[in-house]
Amino acid sequence: MTNSREQGMKKLLRRVAAAALAAAPVLVLAQEQPATEAFNIESISCWDVITLPEDDATFVTAMLIGYANGQTGQSQTSPKAIVDLVEKFDETCAEHPDASALEVLKQ
């Protein structure tokens, strides 16, 4: 179980780091082209997010977190809070793939 948790944490940290650096032009040029399919941020499901390519899932997750925080008026956070939120998001979405991704983040 510890090994699985460590692997999950490593994946999570990669996603958070990628989200934090997403604005860097060098990274944008080095990445594959993002998906062009439109989605509704208020109705996208966990399954839709977790089955995206990793880069796309990272950006969508970061966007969902920002959107959810904006809806509640939350303007402060910390790297640890984001890591904890993404970890909880990944776990909940794995257990409930049909759940609304936005609602999972609001819990």
The domain locations on the chain are: 2-31+41-106
- Average model confidence (pLDDT) for the chain? 80
pLDDT digits (tens, 9 = 90+) for 18-66: 565 554 554 445 556 666 777 888 999 999 999 998 888 999 999 999 9
User: Which pLDDT belongs to residue 18?
Assistant: 58
Report helix, strand or coil for 100: strand
Distances (CA, A) of 52 to 6, 46, 48, 58, 71: 22, 10, 7, 9, 24
